Structures are given as structure tokens and as C-alpha cells.
């Protein structure tokens, strides 16, 4: 089970949280202006990154708030947690993660 650090409540077990999928996907401001391909991209296409992935979590059995995290999907180790609205933390060599790395949390 993952240990997840809610930026508001601290470290809690995974079962208190709901997964929210890929982070930083902004809903198009004018959906009616999009063609079908662009709308499908927004609705259905996800990065599904093998490596470091920015994702949303919600502390649904706690404070109820959404926040973001960086996790390496090849190891399931978290690298950072940050509040919604904050910029994605810069990591050296972010992107693909060729070797397993230790959690920084």
C-alpha cells in the first residue's frame, strides 16, 4: 500500500485517498471551438508515462482536498507532493527514469 503525504494532513495510507489521474490537464476554455480530434485528445488521451508522472490525488476520506504528486511509475516511489495550483516541482533528469530511485518523502 502506498504511503501518501497529503500537503494538508501529512502522511496517510493509500486507502484514505482517491486517484485522480494525470495532473495539469486544463479543460479547454471554449469546448465548442474544438474539432472532434482535439476534444478526443482532451477527453481520452493520457500520457500513461513509464517514468515520472504528475498525477492528482484526493484525500477523500480525510480533508477532501485535491493535490498533485510526482511518482515514478516504474517503482511506485513518490518524488514530490504539491498543492493544486502550484507549479510542478523541477526534478533533475525528469521524464523517463532509467533507474529505480529512492523516495524523497
Partner 1 sequence: MSSQSFSGLSLFWRSLSSHRGWQTQWRKPEPKAHYDAVIVGGGGHGLGAAYYLAKEHGLTNIAVLEKGWIGGGNTGRNTTIIRSNYLFDESAALYDHSLKLWENLSQALNYNVMFSPRGVMMLAHTVHDIQVFKRHVHANRCNGVDNEWLEPAEAKEFCPPLNIEGNIRYPVLGAALQRRGGTARHDAVAWGYARAADALGVDIIENCEVTGIRRDARGAVEALETTRGVIQSRKVGVSAAGHSSVIMALAGVHVPLESYPLQALVSEPVKPVFPCVVMSNTIHAYISQSDKGELVIGAGTDAYTSYTQRGALHINTHTLDAICELFPHFRRLRMLRNWGGIVDVTPDRSPIIAKTPVPGLYVNCGWGTGGFKATPGSAHVFAWTIARDEPHPINAPFTIERFRDGYLIDEAAAAAVAH
Min dist CB 69 to partner 1, Å, is 10
Are 80 and 91 spatial neighbours (Cβ–Cβ below 8 Å)?
A: yes
Min dist CB 63 to partner 1, Å, is 18
Nearer to partner 1, 20 or 89 (CB): 20
Min dist CB 101 to partner 1, Å, is 13
> How far is 41 from 79, CA to CA, in rounded Å?
27
Report the interface residues with partner 1, using CB under 8 A.
1-2, 14-15, 17-19, 21, 36-37, 40-41, 43-46, 48, 50, 53, 55, 71, 73-76
Structure letter (DSSP) for residue 43: H
Closest CA to 66 of 74, 78, 56: 56
Min dist CB 66 to partner 1, Å, is 15
Phi/psi region, residue 52 (left: phi>0; alpha: psi -120 to 50; beta: rest), is beta
Are 39 and 32 spatial neighbours (Cβ–Cβ below 8 Å)?
A: no
Amino acid at each position: 500500500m502506498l504511503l501518501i503525504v497529503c500537503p494538508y494532513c501529512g502522511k496517510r495510507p493509500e486507502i484514505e485517498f482517491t486517484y485522480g489521474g494525470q495532473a495539469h490537464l486544463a479543460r479547454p476554455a471554449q469546448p465548442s471551438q474544438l474539432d472532434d480530434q482535439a476534444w478526443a485528445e482532451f477527453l481520452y488521451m493520457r500520457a500513461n508515462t513509464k517514468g515520472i508522472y504528475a498525477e492528482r490525488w484526493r484525500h477523500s476520506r480525510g480533508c477532501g482536498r485535491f493535490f498533485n504528486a510526482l511518482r515514478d511509475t516504474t517503482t511506485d516511489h513518490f518524488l514530490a507532493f504539491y498543492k493544486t495550483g502550484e507549479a510542478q516541482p523541477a526534478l533533475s533528469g525528469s521524464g523517463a527514469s532509467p533507474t529505480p530511485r529512492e523516495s524523497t518523502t
